[in-house]
A and B are shown apart, each in its own frame.
Chain A
Amino acid sequence: MPSDLLIDRLVDGLRPTRRPATLRQGAVLLALAGVELAGFLSLGTLRPDIATAAGLSVFWWKMGGLASLALAATTVALRSFDPLSSPRSELRRWMAVLAGVFVLGWVLDAGSQPGLGLGARLMWQMGIECLTVMTILSTPLVLALLLMMRRGAPTDLGASATAAGAAAATAGAFIFAFHCPSDDPFYIVFWYTLGCGAITMLSRALLPRLARW
Chain B
Amino acid sequence: MRMCNQARRPHEWMGVSPTPRPHPPRPAAEIVRLHTTPADGTEDEWGALMAAAHAGHAAAYRRLLDDLRKWLGRFYARRLPPSMVEDAVQDTLVAIHEKRHTYDPQRPFKPWLMAVARYKWIDRLRAMGRHGTEALPDDIAVDDHESSVTSQVVLQHLMAELKPAQAEAIRLVKIEGYSVAEASARTGQSDSLIKVNIHRGLARLAAIVQSRPDAE
**Which residue numbers of A lie inside 8 Å of B, CB to CB?**
1, 3, 6-7, 10-11, 13-20, 81-84, 152-153, 155-156, 212-213
Contact = CB atoms under 8 A, between A and B. Distances in A.
A83 B93 contact: no
B56 A3 contact: no
B101 A19 contact: yes
Contacts of A10: 61, 65, 93-94, 97
A152 B53 CA distance: 18
Contacts, number: 73
B102 A19 contact: yes
B101 to A, nearest CB: 4
Contacts of B107: 84
Contact of B62 (A11, A20, A84): A11
Given A3-B93, A11-B58, A14-B53, A20 B65 contact: no
A4 to B, nearest CB: 9
B20 to A, nearest CB: 18
A213 B61 contact: no
A11 B49 CA distance: 13
Given A83-B116, A155-B118, A17 B100 contact: yes
B93 A16 contact: no
A82 B58 contact: no
B116 A17 contact: no
Contacts of B69: 3, 7
Contacts of B53: 14
B99 interface: yes
Given A6-B94, A10-B94, A213-B99, 7 more contacts: A3-B90, A83-B115, A84-B107, A84-B115, A153-B95, A155-B116, A213-B95
Nearest to A157: B119
B99 A153 contact: yes
A82 B89 contact: no
Interface string B94-122: 11011111111001000110011011000
Contact of B102 (A11, A153, A156): A153
Nearest to A17: B101
Interface of B: 53-56, 58, 61-62, 65-66, 69, 86, 89-90, 93-95, 97-104, 107, 111-112, 115-116, 118-119, 123, 210
Main secondary structure on chain B at its contact with chain A? helix
Contacts of A6: 90, 93-94
26 contacts: A6-B90, A6-B93, A6-B94, A7-B66, A7-B93, A10-B61, A10-B93, A10-B97, A11-B61, A14-B53, A14-B56, A14-B61, A15-B56, A16-B56, A17-B101, A18-B101, A19-B54, A19-B103, A82-B102, A83-B99, A83-B102, A83-B112, A153-B95, A153-B99, A156-B210, A212-B123
Contacts of A16: 54-56
Contacts of B116: 83, 153, 155
B66 to A, nearest CB: 7
B201 to A, nearest CB: 19
Nearest to B56: A16
B131 to A, nearest CB: 15
Contacts of B97: 10, 13-14
A155 B93 contact: no
B169 to A, nearest CB: 25
Contacts of A7: 62, 65-66, 69, 93
B65 to A, nearest CB: 5
Nearest to A83: B115
B155 to A, nearest CB: 19
A17 B105 CA distance: 12
The 5 closest A-B pairs by CB, nearest first: A17-B101, A83-B115, A153-B99, A16-B56, A155-B119
A213 B120 CA distance: 9
Most B Cβ at <10 Å: residue of A1, A17, A82, A152:
A17
